[in-house]
Amino acid sequence: MKMKLNILNKLNRIVIFLMLCFYSQSLFSKDLVSFHLDKDKCILGESLVFSIIVKSEKQGVKVDFLNIKWNGKAIEFVDGVTPTYFTSIVNGQINRKIIYKYNYKFEFIPNKVGLITLNKSQFKFNNNLYFLEPLNFNVFAIPTDKNFVVFLNIINKREYYYPTEIFELEVSMGLNKFTGLNRLVIENLGFLKELGLEYIKIKNTNSKIIINGKVYGVNLNNGSHSVKTPFSFMANFKLRFRVIKPKVYKISNCIFKASIKTGKFVLKRSFFGTKNEAVTKVIYALPNDLQLVAKALPNDNVPLSFDGAIGAFTISALSNNSMGVKVGDPVSILLTVKGNGAWDFVHAPPLHKLKSFTDYFRISQEAPVGDLLPNNQGKQFKIKMRVKSKTVTEIPAIPFTYYSIKNNKYMTTYTKAIPLKVFSNSEKVNIINFKNINKIGESSPASNKNNLKSIGNPVDKSIKIDLPKIETRSNFIDKNRLSENHSVNIYFLFLSMIPLIVLVIMQMFHYFNNRGDSSLKSNEQRSKTAGKNYLEELSKLNLHNSSSHVYNEMGMVLEKFLKDKLLDDSAKLDDHYLKECLDKNLISEDNFNGMKILIDELDQQRYSSQSYDDKQAIIILDKVKDCIQKW
């Protein structure tokens, strides 16, 4: 009866497997939506994360998550798509299908402590409406420690800053009752979240910290700081930023999470000796709030030649048209700007806005792209313009306007005027209309007429082109084949697959019958070959010109042998463990006594104050081999 039940259970599993294979295609043909809470617990100031995963056959579908909000604002998300390919054979035809997996990861920062709930919401995906059930999250208060304090300070802070200016944020940390800093994580540092501030990487760093989930290199200094504190251990580092846009930038609700060294050690003992492990502790600190004001440049009396440069600069110009040009020919000018400032804000002077240039030259309104000089010493621009009149005698001085932060005003510097010789352009231009080529050939000079003839009369109406007759594609196909019944071929294909199906079913029966025996056989093989394997490993040990460390290696081999022989990965070279094995009749009393004596001799040789002896090591090695062979 029991045997019949086992056979029925196996048949039920086979039927379920075949049903899953049959319905897999219909399952993947629909949009499948699932939700996942990636991070449902956090400390106030940290972020909570959840994901929405949708599977669909369509690519590039539109999604509307505007209804998923927190505190009245839409939650920001990061999206990603992964394609999965499926192949099936239906009625002798191969069908390939692609299922796209859309993963939307939402992240928001709670503003209160306790149990918070994200209300029930809905979203549209692929023009289908889905509902998101209420999600619950736990937010805990920040467990600050009075022995860990952080100070934020802007070095040489001013009342306000202008774009392109650089400032340094100094982070000073004080520790009491702790001996050092092991790891530092900073959450919600506002300056690094602002698009209007550019973080400037520091070269030659000595430490790495995690800020807002990203790794940054810093120069961590121990014991030096600009803020006086009574703490026993101090550390500080600096972060550099460049102001890009005018705005009020703030740091608030920032969290410092540090793994610190307590100065205590835990003694851990193993067969291979004792080891002191340092005890660490995770502590939190809330720094002071900080604010920085960035102002826009003054709007009064802005020169037309100003195009965003801020700092202090000089300008020079060169031209390669010293021999003179004709009216309408291009004039090339190489402008070189040097000085101090952010080169991203330095552009070519807007000559198309200046009347002193537009009256005498044709200038493109598209500004040329500049090239940085080596080591950021300057920037060069290549400007081209065309002379309008023969009366032009020089290229006027080119103005370059910048805003000087030091002088707090707009300042303009000029290039020197470049002399220029302009000649009249007396050449006539013959415009050929190819729609009337015969008439042009009659009215043009003889030379031009000959040239036209040499081309070979591009338009000759006397030439007729016979195109091949278009044949219908169905005329090339045997119509009898179109009406032929192919179901017979599919029937024979099914019959040919019957042996394969029978073979798969037999293999499944064999698997279910022997799946429990395979692990037993592998364990038996592991136990049988343990002695042989580790005897070979012992033979490879180099006992000559060695040290007492060789006894550690013998002990490691013995411990591995025990694990394989007893099929216990927790086996140890320990009297208590061997005693337990003896009580459970896993080992004989002779093996227990021999192993115990061998452990004592290995311990004595490892901790012996006498110098290492090759002969004694050979004797001990022979005893270890003999012990393994007796098992």
Cβ–Cβ under 8 Å, residues 154 and 250: no
Mean pLDDT, residues 426-453 taken together: 45
Phi, psi at residue 21, to the nearest 5°? -65, -35
Mean pLDDT, residues 507-516 taken together: 69
Lowest mean pLDDT across 109-118, 383-392, 467-476, 580-589: 467-476
Give pLDDT, residue 537. 81
Give pLDDT, residue 231. 72
Phi, psi at residue 540, to the nearest 5°? -85, -10
In the chain, where are the structural domains located?
A: 26-140, 148-293, 306-423, 427-457, 519-630
290: amino acid identity, one letter: L
- CB atoms near residue 443 (< 10 Å): 8
Q: How do residues 313-322 score in pLDDT, each as one tens digit?
A: 999 998 877 6
CA 508 – CA 358 distance, rounded (Å): 87
Give pLDDT, residue 168. 93
Question: What's the CA angle centered on 81, arms 76 and 82, to 5 degrees?
Answer: 150
Cβ–Cβ under 8 Å, residues 249 and 197: yes
- Does residue 102 carry a pLDDT above 70? yes
Would you place residue 31 in the very low, low, confident or very high pLDDT band (cuts 50, 70, 90)?
low
Give pLDDT, residue 448. 46
CATH for 306-423 (3.40.50.300, 3.40.50.620, 2.60.40.10, 3.40.50.720): 2.60.40.10
Please indicate whether residue 395 or residue 24 has the higher confidence score (pLDDT).
395
CA 449 – CA 440 distance, rounded (Å): 8
Q: How do residues 564-607 score in pLDDT, each as one tens digit?
A: 887 888 787 777 788 888 887 888 888 888 888 888 888 777 76
Residue with tokens 């110009």: 317
- Does residue 467 carry a pLDDT above 70? no
Lowest mean pLDDT across 149-153, 183-187, 450-454, 508-512: 450-454
Please indicate whether residue 323 or residue 557 has the higher confidence score (pLDDT).
557
Mean pLDDT, residues 79-83 taken together: 83
- Does residue 399 carry a pLDDT above 90? yes
Cβ–Cβ under 8 Å, residues 321 and 189: no
Q: With H, G, I as helix, E, B as strand and everything else as coil, classify residue 84.
A: strand
CA 558 – CA 626 distance, rounded (Å): 12
CA 414 – CA 407 distance, rounded (Å): 18
Give pLDDT, residue 381. 92
* H or E element that contains 479: helix 479-482
- What's the distance, CA 104 to chain centroid? 16
Q: Which CATH topology does 519-630 take?
A: Four Helix Bundle (Hemerythrin (Met), subunit A) (1.20.120)
Please indicate whether residue 327 or residue 631 has the higher confidence score (pLDDT).
327
- CB atoms near residue 589 (< 10 Å): 8
CA 409 – CA 423 distance, rounded (Å): 42
Mean pLDDT, residues 178-196 taken together: 82
Closest CA relative to residue 256, chosen from 363, 171, 324: 171
- Does residue 193 carry a pLDDT above 60? yes
> Cα(first)–Cα(last) distance of the chain, in Å?
43
The CA-based diameter of the chain, rounded to the nearest angstrom, is 125
Burial of 500 (0-12, 13-18, 19+ CB in 10 A): exposed
* H or E element that contains 26: helix 2-28
Most confident of 294-308, 424-438, 544-558, 613-627: 294-308
Please indicate whether residue 374 or residue 470 has the higher confidence score (pLDDT).
374
- Does residue 534 carry a pLDDT above 90? no
Would you place residue 92 in the very low, low, confident or very high pLDDT band (cuts 50, 70, 90)?
low
Q: How do residues 233-248 score in pLDDT, each as one tens digit?
A: 788 899 999 998 899 9
Q: How do residues 474-502 score in pLDDT, each as one tens digit?
A: 555 555 545 555 554 566 677 778 888 88
Percent of the chain whose pLDDT exceeds 90: 10
Are the folds of 306-423 and 519-630 the same? no
CA 5 – CA 10 distance, rounded (Å): 9
The answer to whether the Cα torsion of 104, 109, 111, 115 is positive or negative is: positive
Residues 6+ apart with CB under 8 A from 60: none
Q: How do residues 408-428 score in pLDDT, each as one tens digit?
A: 889 999 999 888 888 887 654
Cβ–Cβ under 8 Å, residues 218 and 173: no
> Whole-model pTM above 0.85?
no
Two tokens, residue 354: 């200046």
Mean pLDDT, the chain, rounded, equals 78
CATH class as words, domain 26-140: mainly beta
Question: What's the CA angle centered on 344, arms 341 and 345, to 5 degrees?
Answer: 70
